[in-house]
Amino acid sequence: MPNQNQPIGYIALLRTNQNFRRIWLGDIASLLGDWFATIALYTVVRNLTGSPLAMGMVLITKLLPWALASPFAGLLVDRLDRRWLMIASDLLRAIVVLGFLLVKDVGDLPLLYVLIALQVILGAVFIPARSAVIPNITSPRELLTANTLGAATWSTLLAVGAALGGFATAWFGTQLVFVIDSASYLISAWFILRTHIPPTDAPQRPATVTAALTDIVDGWRHMRRDPRIGRIALTKAAWTLGGGAQVYMLTLLGEHLAPGEPGIGIGLLYAARGLGTGLGPIAARVWVPQQEHWPTLLGLGIIASGVAYAAVGWSPWTYGILPLVMLGHMPSGANWTFSTVLLQQRTEDGYRGRVFATEWLLLTLTNTVAILVASLVLESGWLTLRQGISAGAAVLVATGLLWLATVVPKERHAAGVTR
């Protein structure tokens, strides 16, 4: 007789939960295509401009529209059929990414940024919808396993997709890569179409602008009313405060790692990042199964990421830095998974879409600021790339210490009160 408090195994989850399995298979298809296309986009901009600021604008365009769209996307997720929202998002993204085929020279960069923004806005609907439905299609025993597997899948496909995408871009060109990405969205939509997702239990209200704004504000107030939700909603943004700039600078470090083939260099660095974010939650799930220790682990993980990236800044830029990049992202993977599980458990279904959308709003705004500052500093020559990586590492360490000093005591007090 299995222990009903013990999380189910990964294989058992995929074998017994058909709905989660279909969502997961759709993720595999779309994520693999996305990472192929991401490396191709970086390569296009690097080859056309060679500008750190232009490269930074690619990442910012992947973030800022998401931040602006997230509150409204969360409202849609809480009011409309989440399954059809995800399907529509996939189908529209399949069309949008084909527009990248039209980018031929520097004059086409505005079109590229517009297409990225459209792709991101549609993703801003898909991601909260997916996060919100996982508790609806899994049991309490399955929830942690489902989120850990989802994070590991994202990371594995980042590792595999980025590495293969780098070589595919170098060998076959960017055009074929963008076609593959488009097809991957169609495969994802097909799997979701065959999935049964229970409807949300949120109350239905008139779809007016006033009602929409009222619901969005109500979602923010809900997070303020329950600080246990509000604190955890800051977790991903806290890591990103220093880590977002580091992820951006990997796109510039790729040319140093593989001179003459930036796509391959970026692909290998992102593969190391993906391997780290995949191993992190798996290891943390085994080593720290007790939830009461997770807030402390989150702060220590931010510090550990800073230490690893400090070593990247100090080391010779050979393939030997790949394990350091992997170590730097193991804590970020645990950060992502544990904060997602805590938010899913602490938030009632009717507010879950808005809470996850607000979390993404905080994350993307923090990431946008971090990347913009880093790209401007590097473009102006105020810091070298090596100095920029070291500065980002210092921000990570400082953020982790602040987390341990402010958030962890409140979490311990709240845990003591609820016992």
Q: Tens digit of pLDDT for each residue in 34-87? A: 878 888 888 888 888 878 888 888 888 887 887 777 667 767 777 777 888 889
What is the tens place of the pLDDT at every residue in 343-359?
Answer: 888 888 777 767 776 77
Residue type at 132 in one-letter notation: A
Residues 334 and 364: their CA atoms lie apart, in Å, by 19
Chain Cα centroid distance, residue 312? 22
The pLDDT value given to residue 416: 62
Question: pLDDT grade, residue 403 (50/70/90)?
Answer: very high
231 burial level (CB within 10 Å; 0-12, 13-18, 19+): buried
DSSP 3-state assignment of 81? coil
Q: What span, in angstroms and rounded, lies between the C-alpha atoms of 164 and 35?
A: 9
Q: Give the domains, in start order, of the chain with CATH numbers.
A: 10-418 (1.20.1250.20)
pLDDT at residue 221 above 80? no
Report pLDDT digits (tens) over 150-209: 777 777 777 777 777 778 777 877 888 889 889 989 999 999 988 887 765 555 554 445
Residue 389 pLDDT level (bands cut at 50, 70, 90): very high
Q: Higher model confidence: residue 267 or residue 72?
A: 267
Q: How confident is the model at residue 30 (pLDDT cuts 50, 70, 90)?
A: confident
Number of residues that make up the chain? 419
